[in-house]
Structure formats: structure tokens, C-alpha cells
Amino acid sequence: MWQRTFTKIYFGIKKEHIWALWTDVNNWPKWHGDLEYCTLVGRFEVGNYFMLKPKGVGAVKIMLVDIQDHKQFTDCTTFWGAKMYDTHYVEELADGSVKLTNHLVVTGWLKWLWITLVAKKVADTVPSEIEALVSLARSMNEK
């Protein structure tokens, strides 16, 4: 199993705004700079999926496998011989700050291939995507 985690604490954002942006999958390209499109099929519920189209490569089907409302969600991309789980956590801390965490896990007998082709690139973009997400959340505070 391969894992990569990114965590950072932010001030000046609301947990509810982060959750609203995460669950608005069709608008992920607004803060997820490397996407052409992202389309949720059905509602943001376990068992449903979205089609995510990164720039320059084909679209992938990603399943919603765990959702804990306003706390975390996990999606799963199935590759030939491997699976990549991407868990997104949001936690409001006692001082009013918000802790955001992204945890990637790749499993399966061909994980080495998908780590090289996909997972490392995904993990490398997480910090900038979270910064863009936070920026958008801050703009929601002003409204």
C-alpha cells in the first residue's frame, strides 16, 4: 500500500463553505486547475459516481465510497490491478480555524504502475488545489 497525506490549518474560512464546494462536484474545475470537467451522476451520495476529465488525458469514473456529512468523504478510482482512494477531511478547531486534510492510498498488485502514472501526480497537485479551494471559500465569506 502506498500513501500520501497533506494537512494544513487555515483561518478565515468556514467549514460549511469547504463542504459546499466539495459537494458541488460539477464546479470542481473552478478550484481544481488541471480539470477540463467534472460531472456528478446523481446526488452526492455513497454509491454514485462522477466523471473527472483531467486536461490532456481521458476521463475517469470515480465512485463515492464513504461520506460523513460535513466531515469527510472518500472517492475511489479503479484501475486495472489497483485502486486509488482519495479521502478529504474538514475539521473545525477550537480556535476557529479549519484543518483540511487530503489522504491518498493506492492498493492492488499493479499499484506501482498507477503510483507512477497517476497517484504521484495527483498528490503533487493537492497543496495548490487546496489553496485554490480555500481562496474560493474565503470569497464566499465576503458574500
Query: Other C-beta atoms within 10 Å of 89: how many?
Result: 16
Phi, psi of 5 (to 5 degrees): -125, 140
Angle between helices 120-141 and 15-23 (to 10 degrees): 120
What string of DSSP letters covers 36-89? EEEEEESSSSTT-EEEEEETTS--EEEEEEEEETTTEEEEEEEETTEEEEEEEE
Beta bridge partners of 5: 103
Model pTM? 0.94
pLDDT tens digits for range 3-46: 999 999 999 999 999 999 999 999 999 998 889 999 999 999 99
pLDDT tens digits for range 60-113: 999 999 999 999 999 999 999 999 999 999 999 999 999 999 999 999 999 999
In angstroms, the CA 142 to CA 120 distance is 35
